Amino acid sequence: MIETIIGIDLGGTRIKAVAINAYGKLLDEQYQSTKDGDDETWKKAVADLVIQWKNKWRTQNLAIGISAPGLPNTSNSAIAFMPGRLQGLENFEWSSFLQLRSFVLNDAVAAMIAEARFGAAKDRKNIVMITLGTGVGGAILINGQPYLGAFGKAGHIGHMVINDEGQKDICGMPGSLEDAIGNVTVSRRSGGRFTSTQELLKAYREGDEKAAEVWLTSVKKLAIGLASLTNILSPETIVLGGGISEAGADLFDPLETYMNQYEWRTGGNKTSVVKAQFGEKAGAIGAACFALEKTNIV
């Protein structure tokens, strides 16, 4: 029986790693730089970390989960498609490299699994996870299992259209949710007054009228997107993660007001919208959970 599962989240700037036991208890965690673009450095960092933890627990009885940007192949042995970042990631076979059973999945899906198994949506069977940061990512859980769709790209919620007359996003979609609230468009949305969501929120809290207009418009569009998802997928819970979710009440209070306006609550049923519990560890924890389930030890 595999006793220890390592979850590793590969990001553009850092590797976040956790070790859990078969019951989901966190045993250890570490963070290391990836030095984005230097694949030999971050691959070696992962290998060294696995060796270190193998020696610490004096066991070969490990399984590895890898959370990474991009779309995994059908066997979850490698990321099949990830243009532009983490060169050397595409089609890199982790099991062969680490000489341990390794399972690879998309980072947003990994974060959702963490929240569904042990976090803010524990024991829920139908949820949506949305990450609000530089862009807007997402993942879908249906009947307790991640839903990836025919081509593995389901869950790219940031590219749903909110305004058909808006500018095209990186996927060519006009007026997307990512365009409406992602950090990447703050300068354009504010006419150049603010360069980050953090700056925007600081001015909003200080009573700046322009900041209030920009921020509340963004939250309103987020609510329209979430309400649309409740009609399409009818989840029990929507989990919001990512840096923008750290805005707390400045996000969740107006969001609740707008959801009261837009959500179709048949029979009085309401989708709960909650903040993610695991923060930046979610990808690593979800990857470990995924490997745990793949090895059929619980």
pLDDT at 296 over 70: no
pLDDT at 83 over 70: no
CB atoms within 10 A of CB 110: 29
Q: pLDDT value at position 61?
A: 77
Structure confidence by residue, pLDDT tens digits, 47-73? 998 998 888 877 777 889 999 988 899
Q: pLDDT value at position 225?
A: 98
DSSP 129-144: EEEESSSEEEEEEETT
The CATH architecture of the domain made up of 4-111+280-294 is 2-Layer Sandwich (3.30)
Lowest model confidence (mean pLDDT) among 7-11, 55-59, 90-94: 55-59
Q: How far apart are CA 198 and CA 278, in angstroms?
A: 21
123-276 shares the fold of 4-111+280-294: yes
Structure confidence by residue, pLDDT tens digits, 30-50? 988 766 556 888 898 899 989
Q: pLDDT value at position 84?
A: 62
Structure confidence by residue, pLDDT tens digits, 157-192? 999 999 999 999 888 999 999 999 999 999 999 999
Show me where the domains of the chain are located: 4-111+280-294, 123-276
Structure confidence by residue, pLDDT tens digits, 186-206? 999 999 999 999 999 999 999
Q: Give this prediction's pTM.
A: 0.86
Structure confidence by residue, pLDDT tens digits, 118-167? 899 999 999 999 999 888 989 999 999 999 998 888 999 999 999 999 99
pLDDT at 244 over 70: yes
Q: How far apart are CA 74 and CA 222, in angstroms?
A: 32
Q: pLDDT value at position 34?
A: 67
Q: pLDDT value at position 291?
A: 93
Specify whether the CB–CB gap between 283 and 110 falls below 8 A.
Answer: yes
Mean pLDDT (the chain, rounded): 91
Let me know if domain 123-276 sits in CATH 3.30.300.30: no
Phi-psi region for residue 162, left (φ > 0), alpha (ψ -120 to 50) or beta? alpha
Assign 298 a pLDDT band (cuts: 50, 70, 90): very low
Q: How far apart are CA 16 and CA 174, in angstroms?
A: 34
Q: pLDDT value at position 116?
A: 95
